Amino acid sequence: MRSAKRSPLSNVPGSVQIDEKILAFLRELPKVELHAHLNGCLNINSIRELAATVYGKETDEFLMLSKRFLTFKKGANLDDCFEKFSFVHDLTASKVGLQRATELVIRDFAKDNVIYLELRTTPKSNANMSRRDYLQTVLECISRARSRYSMKVKLLPSINRGEPVSVSEETVALSVDFCKLYPDIIVGIDFSGNPNKGNFEEFMPALTLARKHGLMLAIHCAEIPNRSEIKQMLMFGMSRCGHGTYLTSADYAYMKQHNIAVECCLTSNIKSGTVESLQYHHIKRLIEAEVPRVLCTDDSGVFDTTLSNEFYLATEAFGLTQTQCIDLTMEAIDHAFASCEEKQNLKIQLDAFISQMTVKDNRVHKTKRYIEKKTCE
């Protein structure tokens, strides 16, 4: 897998040396991914495989478009990032392409030793399929791939704030219907899209309906400094917060009090221009304030990263130890939209990994005892 072997420090100016021992540990660590958009998680090699499925061959034009998909100019912003998705959307505009894309994304996360994955995707309607067809295709593919790769995969249908409210209402209605058929796969709703578009208040009735039917809410919040919207979102409530870049210290206290985890995506925030550099990433403040937080990739293909690489960046920039990386994984399990039994099984897998570690210091043993004592809430 190309992105797994690529230097995780390629986006950090001034970084030249890789600690291969730490990187090896992180690649072996069983990981939990809670913030991954399906169409944004196709890495360059998988895109080429997808193109071969959809078009039958790779043309020079396609190879050029693939390269541009991963290229970020200096000073890129969120709008530039969202423009890139149209390229992948064309590849997944048919059932065949969508099915293959879903398979490839799950395969690539499995290669990075992700044992639990929550995928997000906005149901799309075009000449080839309806939004119902779109969701059905993704769900069927997840059902097959989960057993093949021995990993738990969940789905959060996404509401795109840049689309009409009527589309969000249809997305929630479809999610509620499919949740009856796939109760162990559809576990929540994602609210996302370009934060410069749409009015959150207009989508609140659809989100309220989803919550009424037992679906968890993962809301992209505080991606941009829109203070009135941030307050509105926090008052409305959420199960997890996507990005949280512009949350204040008062917001941190609220998140801590209500046990709302912030989904931190280091490379994504840097490349999209919402964070100046890794050293200034807000995960440092979240750690200091003891706010619930998890490490995620967001769009691992678009931003050319892996979850292992995101952990490595955190160890380099903020001095996270192996034990702290294990604790972050434990925290991700606790905040996953998984069942009580699934969380316990994930902790057992993580505990088995710890037991097999060759270096057993007191900190590792302390983490192991914590796992053994942790009860299912």
Q: Which residues are catalytic?
A: 223
Phi, psi (5° rounding) for residue 193? 105, 180
Tell me the three state secondary structure of residue 46: helix
- Collect all residues with Cβ–Cβ distance below 8 Å to 136 and sequence separation of at least 6: 178
Would you say 239 and 258 are in contact if contact means Cβ atoms under 8 Å apart? no
Write the DSSP symbol of residue 39.
Answer: G
Tell me the three state secondary structure of residue 372: helix
Phi, psi (5° rounding) for residue 59? -95, 165
Please state, in angstroms and as integers, the Cα–Cα distance from residue 218 to each residue in 51, 227, 238, 274, 283, following that order.
31, 19, 6, 19, 18
Nearest-Å Rg of the Cα atoms of the chain is 20
Cα-Cα end-to-end distance for the chain: 37
